[in-house]
């Protein structure tokens, strides 16, 4: 299993899960490309994993901050701008804290380490960097294990998003479309044909 060094010289290594290692690799690649990353984790309460993630990312050489709920909503934008000004590479947060009202243009890469089960929160959090004024291509990456409950949940949410968007006249573009391997619904196929005309 992959490891990341922890602590002062002579201390032990932290064993990373494959998903954590993938997170580190994605974040390092984005830093190489000059892109800041917003990492979403939903376990931020009694089983808070954000401290562990911060340590793992910092040991890999990534300047990392954690946005917690103790930063009041009216101060979150200033808090984030402060981290951008101080050249942080990564901000870790719960998607609930940024799902509305914030434009995160400085973070063109969004990585969902965990997603939760709320489709609205997922859609809103995934769009934080897709705002007017964004000059970079935006990447949204979902990390999960094959054949896991998380992947099953993401597939279900992808279907809900596709139905919701197709009935409102929008084509699905959530990044989860790849999980919709079933044949398209008649409504989606018809909508795509109409757009092509």
Q: What CATH number is associated with residue 116? A: 3.40.50.300
Cα separation of 102 and 100, whole Å?
6
103 falls in which pLDDT band (50, 70, 90)?
A: confident
| CA distances (Å), origin 7, targets 15, 56, 59, 63, 64 | 13, 10, 8, 15, 16
The reply to whether 106 and 137 lie within a common domain is yes
Residue 32 inside a domain? The answer is yes
| pLDDT (average), residues 123-138 | 83
Lowest mean pLDDT among 50-64, 79-93, 104-118, 121-135: 121-135
| CA distances (Å), origin 162, targets 152, 166, 173, 182 | 15, 6, 8, 12
| pLDDT (average), residues 89-116 | 89
Residue 6 inside a domain? The answer is no
| pLDDT (average), residues 49-60 | 94
17 falls in which pLDDT band (50, 70, 90)?
A: very high
For residue 74, what pLDDT is reported?
92
The reply to whether 48 and 117 lie within a common domain is yes
Cα separation of 92 and 40, whole Å?
6
Residue at a domain's end among 122, 144, 166: 144
Instruction: Find the domain containing 57 and state its range.
Output: 17-144
Mean pLDDT of the chain: 81
For residue 154, what pLDDT is reported?
80
The reply to whether 123 and 162 lie within a common domain is no
Q: Model pTM greater than 0.75?
A: yes
Residue 53 inside a domain? The answer is yes
pLDDT at 37 over 70: yes
Based on the structure, what is the number of domains in the chain?
2
| CA distances (Å), origin 107, targets 12, 33, 75, 84, 129 | 32, 12, 18, 9, 6
| pLDDT (average), residues 179-183 | 55
169 falls in which pLDDT band (50, 70, 90)?
A: low
Residue 68 inside a domain? The answer is yes
Residue 4 inside a domain? The answer is no
pLDDT at 59 over 80: yes
């Amino acid at each position: 299993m992959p490891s990341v060094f922890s602590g002062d010289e002579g201390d032990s290594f932290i064993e990373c899960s494959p998903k954590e290692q993938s997170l580190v690799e994605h974040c390092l690649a984005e830093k190489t490309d000059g892109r800041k990353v917003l990492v979403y984790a939903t376990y931020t309460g009694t089983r808070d994993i954000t401290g562990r993630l911060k340590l793992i990312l910092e040991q890999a050489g990534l300047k990392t901050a954690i946005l917690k709920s103790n930063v009041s909503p009216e101060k979150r934008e200033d808090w984030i701008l402060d981290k951008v000004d101080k050249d942080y590479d990564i901000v870790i947060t719960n998607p609930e804290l940024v799902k509305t009202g914030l434009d995160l243009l400085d973070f063109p890469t969004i990585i969902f380490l965990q997603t939760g089960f709320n489709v609205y929160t997922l859609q809103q959090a995934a769009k934080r960097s897709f705002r007017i004024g964004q000059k970079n291509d935006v990447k949204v990456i979902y990390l999960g294990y094959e054949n896991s409950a998380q992947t099953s949940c993401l597939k279900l949410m992808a279907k809900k998003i596709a139905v919701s968007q197709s009935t409102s006249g929008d084509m699905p573009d959530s990044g989860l479309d790849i999980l919709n391997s079933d044949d398209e619904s008649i409504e989606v196929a018809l909508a795509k044909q109409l757009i092509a005309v």
